[in-house]
A and B are shown apart, each in its own frame.
Chain A
Amino acid sequence: MAKDTDFMTKIKPTWCVGCGNFGIWTALRQALAELSLEPHQVVMSFDIGCCGNGANWHRVYGFHSLHGRPLPVAYAVKLANHDLKVIAISGDGGGYGEGGNHFIHTCRGNIDITYIIHNNHRYSLTTGQASPTTGHGEKTKSTPDGLIEYPFNGLQVAITLGATFVAQGYSDEVVHLKELFKKAISHPGFSLVDVLQPCVIFNGKDVREQYRAKVYKLEESNYQPNDKAVAYAKAGETEKLPIGVLYQESRPTYEQQLPQLAKQTLVKQEVKKVEISELLKEFK
């Protein structure tokens, strides 16, 4: 059985000391090990950004995609081989900005993949511009006079568009996050885990203080994640930040609805010449 260290390559992370990404990385590889998965059974599709650089130290079948484009790659990997555990990794910028269209439409189909958003409210790798989740009025490298837009709420969008597992996490709550990842990965269907992630360089100096004051665990209340309207409201909370499963439902996955995949995975089908005489009849 794999240990969490089996999910680490020999490459040393390039993240800044204190980056929230370390917590997410730890929680994720521990989750994979505790789910009794082996590295070769897992595919991770990465965005471009600080989170995406993690492609180099996650030891799985990794695909370091283009900015905003991990989801369609992950989607098709799952369709090609639905025996694999497929996880897509983005930041708030790639996930909700560049890749927004893919996010919106992937929620609709309930393909069984897990989407983990490293949400630090900035484009950090490009040195600090505003992202879709940056707060209204914030002064950043690209919005020195204050951001005019209001933030994109990925949790609410996911609930609205039919995602069947929607959760918010916090990178410093590693044990809680690990359990969240285990649930998300085991959930049959599209799972979104948006993880609040302090960026020690481009968030305010008091970012962790703020999170400590606001973050609270849903499991410690009587919260039931079975009501869309309640979940939608919960996901909109800003004075306090709820972490845990906001919404979950059971629905057939996309690939379960493809008769082509009922007998075996697509990749197991032998690639050989296929008779086309039946198909030719309509052209005669």
Chain B
Amino acid sequence: MKNDKNTKNNPVFTWKIGGIAGGGQQVAGLIFTKACVHGGLYTFDSSEYPSRIRGGLVTYRVSIGQEPVNSIYQKNQLLIALTREAFEYCLADVAAEGVILYDSDEFEIKADEANGKKIYPLPLEKLAKEAGIKSIASNIIITGACTALLDYDLEILNEVIKETFAGKGEEVVAMNLTAAKFGYDYAKKNLDADKFPYKLKAQGKNDQSIVVTANDTICLAAVACGCKFFSAYPMTPASSILQILAGWALKTDMVVKHPEDEISAMHMAIGAAYAGVRSMTCTSGGGFALMNEGLSLAGITETPLVIIESQRPGPATGLPTWTEQGDLAYVVNSGHGEFLRVVLAPGDPTEAFYLTTQAFNLAEKYQIPVFVLVDKYISEGHESIVEPDLAKFEINRGKLLTEADLAKITDYQRYQITADGVSPRAIPGQAGGVHLVNSDEHDEFGFTIEGFTPEIRNQMAKKRAAKLAGILADLPKPELFGPAIAKLTLVGWGSVKGPVLEALKSLTDVNYLHLAAPWPLDSATMKVAVKGAKKLVSIENNQTAQLANLLQQATGISVDQRLTKYNGAQFFPEEIVELVGKL
């Protein structure tokens, strides 16, 4: 950051690189990000990429701060454009005093084309040749050049390069170190580094030492809290969960299965849970659509299940590689028939970790399906966070019977009517626990009933519904950020949290009510939560203000206004500040 800038008004430095798919921007960008984190700075990144494997336009941007950064910012202080297309697309977001580095071997920028921004040519092809490195490493030349321009510590960058490429052998590590040094020296010598308008200063080590996405922390949480079975079908932006857990399967003794379709993935997760194992699946909206009947099956059979749904814009195929919060209402109402489910919506990777551990507990304690609803923005965006603390969560498997328990029971009833709605659960293999789990409506033993015994149907439906009281007591409560009393209260869920928290740094008299558990909503709890609000405005990354509608439906609370965004991108802090100003 410029050292003379007021940190309240301009707390972050945003670096953005744009090039082609397959060009290595994300790898280089993450290296640069980690170099910042190793130097005690805080980061939040976000990539834009199309639905293709090579060519096109891909961007990587990271917002860097001296205090925790909760979101990516729209404006960039430093843009690196590797193609003409990248330059043209990214130009509008270069900040007022921002600068542009560009690959002068790839394309030319004429004097009047850059909106008055200072441009720095970097002849990457020539430099790669001179350095004797493969062109795939040219992005590392750029990170070296940036390090010089920003007067950051090259040793820290080298440390990250060594760690990143350690698995690829000494030659690859050496090549990338050479690339970094080359870019560094070239920039010092040829790009007037001393007069560069921005500086990044390392500030020792801090406790936010890991750089993770919400998908990463969901995986870590699943491992940490004893999930042993995972089945999923690839779908952007959830696919990395399958890949990460598959990569860790032998280390963690987890069985990870990629089956023929989402219907199978869902039913496998149900089967494993029925057999007594903590079990999970993941997908995005379209894949979840295929899982609906299975969800209904989990509901009536009362099988514990954790479902990670990472949203992207719909409908149908929609914008596969972009972001939206468009499935809340769908997930809440999904699966035909009437049955309970919990929807947890973390706002960042840290919340995603702890809420995932809670999801498994809620699923097993109440024998219901539990969703962890995320989206592309946090599923694939990295944030520097404090390492998760295993002491900060517990493991609760609910009413699981042992064989000793079963020995004391005659004629075991899997769906015994209980006051709290939860029936003690036997699992296959246990002597004395033989029972039927049934997708048909059933009696306490699990045997099929017809409509000729409507009183049993009523009993079962009431038993399943009775779980709600316990669930509501266990759910995370709405959390207020900012001043206790404010003229304006923003209310939101999931990933709007980060952009709003950043916006709050530049706003006065505004607070934010975050709902990490948008369903089920408890009237009493919500009324207490919004009690002090003078003006209540919802902010959601969707078109129809789904949370605002659910809030109205479930509690009668209406918001005074609804802020929505549904163009494929998440909210930016600057944008929120502007929108609030207009309210």
Q: Indicate if the CB atoms of A76 and B428 lie closer than 8 Å.
A: no
Q: Indicate if the CB atoms of A65 and B439 lie closer than 8 Å.
A: yes
CA distance A39 to B566 in the complex (A): 55
B433 located at the interface, meaning its Cβ lies under 8 Å from any Cβ of chain A in the complex:
yes
- Smallest Cβ-Cβ distance to B264: which chain A residue: A72
The interface residues of chain A lying within 8 Å CB-to-CB of B271 are 45, 63, 72-77, 80
Q: Indicate if the CB atoms of B260 and A102 lie closer than 8 Å.
A: yes
Shortest Cβ gap from A283 to chain B (Å): 4
How many of B's residues come within 8 Å of A, CB to CB? 69
Q: Indicate if the CB atoms of B428 and A39 lie closer than 8 Å.
A: no
The interface residues of chain A lying within 8 Å CB-to-CB of B397 are 271
* Among candidates A64, A81, A102, residue contacting B436 with C-beta atoms closer than 8 Å: A64
**Interface residues as binary, B102-125 with A (CB distance below 8 Å gives 1, 0 otherwise):** 000000000000000000000000
B544 located at the interface, meaning its Cβ lies under 8 Å from any Cβ of chain A in the complex:
no
Q: Indicate if the CB atoms of B257 and A66 lie closer than 8 Å.
A: no
The interface residues of chain A lying within 8 Å CB-to-CB of B97 are none
A41 located at the interface, meaning its Cβ lies under 8 Å from any Cβ of chain B in the complex:
yes
Q: Indicate if the CB atoms of B277 and A266 lie closer than 8 Å.
A: yes
* Among candidates A41, A80, A278, residue contacting B277 with C-beta atoms closer than 8 Å: A80
Shortest Cβ gap from A78 to chain B (Å): 8
- Smallest Cβ-Cβ distance to A73: which chain B residue: B271
Kindly name the residue among A38, A62, A83 whose own CB sees the greatest number of chain B CB atoms within 10 A.
A62
A11 located at the interface, meaning its Cβ lies under 8 Å from any Cβ of chain B in the complex:
yes
Q: Indicate if the CB atoms of A55 and B210 lie closer than 8 Å.
A: no
CA distance A42 to B533 in the complex (A): 58
**Interface residues as binary, A60-91 with B (CB distance below 8 Å gives 1, 0 otherwise):** 11111110010111111101110110000000
- Smallest Cβ-Cβ distance to B256: which chain A residue: A260
B250 located at the interface, meaning its Cβ lies under 8 Å from any Cβ of chain A in the complex:
yes
**Given contacts A73-B267, A102-B264, A283-B210, are A273 and B438 in contact (CB under 8 A)?**
no
Q: Indicate if the CB atoms of B251 and A278 lie closer than 8 Å.
A: yes
Q: Indicate if the CB atoms of A266 and B229 lie closer than 8 Å.
A: yes
**Given contacts A260-B254, A261-B255, are A271 and B297 in contact (CB under 8 A)?**
no
Q: Indicate if the CB atoms of B224 and A76 lie closer than 8 Å.
A: no
A274 located at the interface, meaning its Cβ lies under 8 Å from any Cβ of chain B in the complex:
yes
B520 located at the interface, meaning its Cβ lies under 8 Å from any Cβ of chain A in the complex:
no
What DSSP secondary structure best describes chain B's contact surface?
A: mixed
Q: Indicate if the CB atoms of B248 and A279 lie closer than 8 Å.
A: yes
The interface residues of chain A lying within 8 Å CB-to-CB of B229 are 76, 79-80, 266
The interface residues of chain B lying within 8 Å CB-to-CB of A38 are 431
Q: Indicate if the CB atoms of B228 and A269 lie closer than 8 Å.
A: yes
**Given contacts A81-B275, A276-B390, are A65 and B251 in contact (CB under 8 A)?**
no
The interface residues of chain A lying within 8 Å CB-to-CB of B427 are 267
Q: Indicate if the CB atoms of A276 and B388 lie closer than 8 Å.
A: yes
B79 located at the interface, meaning its Cβ lies under 8 Å from any Cβ of chain A in the complex:
no
CA distance A275 to B254 in the complex (A): 14
Q: Indicate if the CB atoms of B224 and A276 lie closer than 8 Å.
A: yes
CA distance A105 to B257 in the complex (A): 12
**Given contacts A43-B428, A83-B429, are A280 and B434 in contact (CB under 8 A)?**
no
Q: Indicate if the CB atoms of B277 and A72 lie closer than 8 Å.
A: no
* Among candidates A55, A81, A274, A279, residue contacting B438 with C-beta atoms closer than 8 Å: A55
The interface residues of chain B lying within 8 Å CB-to-CB of A71 are 264
The interface residues of chain B lying within 8 Å CB-to-CB of A212 are none
CA distance A43 to B429 in the complex (A): 8
The interface residues of chain B lying within 8 Å CB-to-CB of A69 are 263, 267, 293-294, 297
CA distance A105 to B230 in the complex (A): 18
Q: Indicate if the CB atoms of B439 and A48 lie closer than 8 Å.
A: yes
Shortest Cβ gap from B322 to chain A (Å): 25
The interface residues of chain B lying within 8 Å CB-to-CB of A76 are 229, 231, 257, 267-272, 275, 279
**Interface residues as binary, A242-284 with B (CB distance below 8 Å gives 1, 0 otherwise):** 0000000000000000111100001101111111101110011
Q: Indicate if the CB atoms of B275 and A80 lie closer than 8 Å.
A: yes
The interface residues of chain B lying within 8 Å CB-to-CB of A283 are 210-212, 216
The interface residues of chain A lying within 8 Å CB-to-CB of B268 are 72-73, 75-76, 79
**Given contacts A55-B436, A283-B210, are A267 and B250 in contact (CB under 8 A)?**
no
CA distance A81 to B52 in the complex (A): 40
A218 located at the interface, meaning its Cβ lies under 8 Å from any Cβ of chain B in the complex:
no
- Smallest Cβ-Cβ distance to A62: which chain B residue: B436
Q: Indicate if the CB atoms of A81 and B276 lie closer than 8 Å.
A: yes
A101 located at the interface, meaning its Cβ lies under 8 Å from any Cβ of chain B in the complex:
yes
A56 located at the interface, meaning its Cβ lies under 8 Å from any Cβ of chain B in the complex:
yes
Q: Indicate if the CB atoms of B434 and A65 lie closer than 8 Å.
A: no
A104 located at the interface, meaning its Cβ lies under 8 Å from any Cβ of chain B in the complex:
yes
Q: Indicate if the CB atoms of B435 and A105 lie closer than 8 Å.
A: no
Q: Indicate if the CB atoms of B276 and A39 lie closer than 8 Å.
A: no
Besides the known contacts A63-B301, A275-B390, 14 further A-B residue pairs in the complex with CB atoms under 8 A apart: A48-B439, A64-B440, A69-B263, A69-B293, A72-B271, A73-B267, A76-B269, A76-B279, A77-B275, A81-B277, A105-B264, A269-B228, A276-B224, A283-B216
24 contacts between A and B (CB under 8 A): A9-B447, A40-B433, A56-B436, A61-B434, A63-B271, A63-B436, A64-B436, A64-B437, A64-B439, A66-B293, A69-B294, A75-B264, A75-B271, A80-B255, A80-B279, A84-B429, A102-B264, A260-B255, A261-B255, A269-B253, A273-B224, A276-B220, A276-B224, A279-B248
